[in-house]
C-alpha cells in the first residue's frame, strides 16, 4: 500500500485545526509590505493584514513559496511516505504550481504529484481535505487524483470585489483588457476560466450581481446532489454569515460554511470582496 502525504499552499485558507486534524502540510506564500516579506498567517494574520492595508501608503505585493521550502518539505516527507500530492492555487495566477513541480524533480525516493486546483481559497481546500481522507483510506495517489479531477469539473466559484483596481494592478484580471476603463466603474461577477480570473458577467450593482450568483448557485444546489459550499469574505464576516444562514436554510442538501480571503488573496482583491465557492460532490463510485 502506498502511503501518501498531502501538502497544500496557504491560499487554501484551511482552518488550522482542520489542516492539523487531517495531517495536511500547509506551505505559506508571502505578502510583501515595503520590502518586508511576511509568511501569510504565520508571520501576519489575516486580521493584522487588513488593518495594515488600510494604513499603508504603498500597496503590498505577493510571492510564492521559495523552491527550497518545497525541497525541504519533500526531504522530510520521504522519511515517512512513498508519495506526496501537492495541491496548489491556480497555475494561471501564481507560479506556485510550476515551482512545486520543479522541486519534485529534485527529490529521490518520493513520488511527487502536483495537482493544479485551477482555483484558490476554500474550494482548493476541498481538494486537500478529500485527498487526505482518501489517503487515510489507503487509496493510491492515481486514484486520489482521478477523484480530484472529477471534483474539479464540478467546482465553481464566483466573487465580487469592491475595487477592481487591486486585481488590475497585480495583473490578475484577464480577458477584459479593452474594457478595463469601463469595468473599473462597475461590479462585474468574476470567476476562473481556464485557470485565469475573468469577468463572468458585467452587472452594475452589487445587489444585482449577488442575485445572479445566487441564481447560479440555485441551479447546482437544486440538483439534489450533496453540495459543499463556502461563503468567502475579505473582512466582511457579518455579510458572509448572513449569506451562509440563507443558503443553509434554503438548501438542506448543502453543507455550507464561511471562509476568508487571507493576506495573499486579499492583496489582489482588496478589502470588502465576497464570493461563494462550491462543489457538487461526485458519487462514491467516481
Ligand atoms: C503569488 O504571488 O504567486 C500569488 C498570487 C495570487 C493571486 C490572487 C488573485 C486573486 C484570486 C482570487 C481567488 C478567488 C477564489 C474564490
Residue pair 123/153 in contact (Cβ under 8 Å)? The answer is no
CA-nearest of 263, 188, 227 to 31 is 263
Q: Is the CB of 172 under 6 A from ligand 1?
A: yes
Which CATH number belongs to the domain containing residue 77 in this structure? 3.40.50.10170
264 CA distance to ligand 1 middle (Å): 7
Closest C-alpha among 19, 254, 247 to residue 5: 19
With a 6 A CB cut-off, is 183 part of the ligand 1 pocket?
Answer: no
Query: Does residue 158 contact residue 275 with C-beta atoms inside 8 Å?
Result: yes
pLDDT tens-digit profile of 174-205?
765 546 656 666 788 999 999 999 999 888 88
Q: Are residues 165 and 85 in the same domain?
A: no
- Atom of ligand 1 minimally distant from the CA of 158: 16
Question: Which of 132, 153, 174 is a domain's end point?
Answer: 153
Q: Is residue 53 in a domain?
A: no
Within the chain, residue ranges assigned H as helices are: 16-21, 46-55, 67-77, 96-105, 121-136, 141-153, 165-169, 180-183, 206-221, 237-250, 263-269
* Separation between Cα atoms, residue 95 and residue 104, nearest integer Å: 14
Q: Which domain, by its residues, includes 271?
A: 155-280
- Alpha-carbon gap, residue 86 to 7, rounded angstroms: 5
Same domain, yes or no: 233 and 268 = yes
User: Model ipTM?
Assistant: 0.99
Q: Are residues 13 and 116 in the same domain?
A: yes
Tens of pLDDT, residue by residue over 96-135, are: 999 999 999 999 999 999 999 999 999 999 999 999 999 9
Residue-level pLDDT at 285: 42
Q: Is the CB of 81 under 6 A from ligand 1?
A: no
Q: How many domains in the chain?
A: 2
Give domain status of residue 49, yes or no: no
Distance of CA 92 from the midpoint of ligand 1 (Å) = 9
- Low-confidence spans in the chain with pLDDT less than 50: 178, 285-286
Amino acid at each position: 500500500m502506498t502511503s501518501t502525504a498531502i501538502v497544500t499552499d496557504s491560499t487554501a485558507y484551511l482552518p488550522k485545526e482542520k489542516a492539523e486534524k487531517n495531517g495536511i502540510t500547509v506551505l505559506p506564500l508571502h505578502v510583501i509590505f515595503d520590502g518586508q516579506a511576511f509568511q501569510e498567517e504565520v508571520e501576519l494574520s489575516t486580521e493584522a493584514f487588513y488593518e495594515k492595508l488600510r494604513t499603508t501608503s504603498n500597496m503590498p505585493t505577493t510571492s510564492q513559496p521559495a523552491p527550497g521550502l518545497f525541497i525541504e518539505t519533500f526531504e522530510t516527507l520521504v522519511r515517512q511516505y512513498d508519495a506526496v500530492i501537492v495541491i496548489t492555487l491556480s497555475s494561471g495566477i501564481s507560479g506556485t504550481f510550476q515551482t512545486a513541480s520543479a522541486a519534485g524533480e529534485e527529490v529521490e525516493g518520493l513520488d511527487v504529484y502536483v495537482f493544479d486546483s485551477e482555483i484558490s481559497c476554500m474550494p482548493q481546500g476541498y481538494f486537500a481535505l478529500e485527498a487526505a481522507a482518501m489517503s487515510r483510506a489507503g487509496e493510491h495517489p492515481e486514484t486520489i487524483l482521478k477523484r480530484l479531477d472529477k471534483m474539479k469539473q464540478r467546482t465553481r466559484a464566483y466573487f465580487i470585489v469592491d475595487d477592481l483596481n487591486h486585481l488590475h494592478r497585480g495583473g490578475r484580471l484577464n480577458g477584459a483588457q479593452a474594457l478595463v476603463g469601463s469595468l473599473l466603474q462597475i461590479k462585474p461577477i468574476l470567476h476562473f476560466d481556464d485557470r485565469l480570473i475573468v469577468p463572468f458577467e458585467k452587472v452594475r450593482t452589487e445587489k444585482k450581481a449577488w442575485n445572479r450568483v445566487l441564481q447560479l448557485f440555485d441551479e447546482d444546489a437544486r440538483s439534489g446532489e450533496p453540495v459543499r459550499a463556502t461563503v468567502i469574505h475579505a473582512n466582511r464576516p457579518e455579510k458572509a454569515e448572513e449569506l451562509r444562514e440563507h443558503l443553509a436554510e434554503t438548501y438542506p442538501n448543502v453543507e455550507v460554511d464561511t471562509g476568508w480571503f487571507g493576506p495573499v488573496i486579499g492583496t489582489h482583491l482588496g478589502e470588502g470582496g465576497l464570493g461563494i465557492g462550491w462543489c457538487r460532490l461526485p458519487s462514491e463510485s467516481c
